[in-house]
Amino acid sequence: MEMAPNNHLLVSNDDAVQINPDPNQPSEIVEFTKEGKFVRQISVDQNFGGAFGLDVAIFDGSARFAFVDDNTNSLSIWSFPLPGPSGDQD
């Protein structure tokens, strides 16, 4: 679990245990507010067991979001610009 720059929680969910699995999102990153409200989910892999780990870092004016797909043994890194001083963060 990681805290995003917007103060939401990010969780990697691989559904590997097969407890309440969602066949439409078998390996995903799930975003929640700190109050527990679901925001969105991002698919990592089309198979169960893929979403393994994640990290968020702020670097040079952008947020870098990294996650591991354990099925393909790969690391993906996405960069997002952070809002300026007058920008909103949820």
Query: Could you tell me the residue ranges of all domains in the chain?
Result: 2-81
Contact 15, 44 (CB under 8 A): no
2-11, 52-61, 78-87: range with lowest mean pLDDT: 78-87
- Per-residue pLDDT at 88 exceeds 50: no
Contact 2, 10 (CB under 8 A): yes
Q: In what order do the strands lie in the sheet with 74-81?
A: 51-59, 62-69, 74-81
- Mean pLDDT, residues 10-32 taken together: 71
